[in-house]
């Protein structure tokens, strides 16, 4: 099932999810660094990464929702997509609560704020797996007829087209290997 929202021939949602996942996961890593070192720079950086991740997640959600609407009803993909999306709403809520509890980049985060972030990133690992299941197993967001020799997305040709003869042209123009005499 092809994605309904594309940029330069590729689905937008998978392009955007890398930012919130990276920002939110790294904010948790920085919180752990803070707990290990008690250096302010770690929790201050984490404080700023969380809202950036939340905003990125909301942007990605718009395109994910548009793609989810196009999945045929009563399919495994529709149900996995629903759980993926709802789970990510919970992830966003957990990180939002964590960020609000921190109140300021100068204020040390309390344990509940860090715990919510850890819970959020743990759930994001599960919902990320669900996103992978949608693409890799269920073919959501994959061009119809995609194959290993499909033409470039910018070519304007459908994935079902086959680059005919390109390998043969390479073989024909290559010089034959020298023969060895024994």
Domain ranges in the chain are 6-137
Q: What is the pLDDT of residue 165?
A: 59
Task: Using alpha carbons, select from 24, 25, 46 the residue that is nearest to residue 35.
Answer: 46
Residue 62 has pLDDT above 90, yes or no: yes
The stretch 161-182 carries a mean pLDDT of: 68
The stretch 101-119 carries a mean pLDDT of: 96
Largest CA distance in the chain: 80
pTM, full prediction:
0.85
For residue 162, what pLDDT band results from cuts at 50, 70 and 90?
confident
Q: What is the pLDDT of residue 108?
A: 93
SS3 for 110-125, per residue? CHHHHHHHHHHHHHHH
């Amino acid at each position: 099932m092809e994605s309904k929202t594309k940029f330069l021939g590729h689905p937008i949602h998978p392009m955007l999810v890398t930012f919130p996942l990276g920002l939110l996961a790294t904010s948790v890593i920085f919180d752990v660094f803070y707990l290990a070192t008690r250096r302010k720079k770690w929790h201050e950086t984490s404080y700023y990464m969380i809202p950036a991740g939340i905003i990125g997640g909301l942007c990605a959600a718009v395109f994910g929702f548009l793609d989810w609407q196009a999945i045929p009803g009563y399919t495994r993909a529709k149900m996995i997509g629903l759980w993926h999306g709802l789970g990510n709403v919970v992830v966003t809520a957990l990180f939002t609560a964590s960020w609000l509890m921190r109140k300021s980049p100068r204020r040390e985060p309390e344990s509940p704020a860090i715990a919510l972030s850890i819970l959020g990133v743990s759930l994001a690992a599960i919902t990320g797996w669900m996103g992978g299941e949608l693409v890799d197993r269920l073919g959501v967001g994959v061009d119809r007829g995609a194959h290993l020799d499909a033409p470039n997305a910018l070519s304007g040709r459908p994935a079902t087209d086959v680059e005919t003869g390109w390998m043969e042209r390479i073989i024909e123009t290559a010089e034959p290997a020298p023969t060895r005499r024994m």
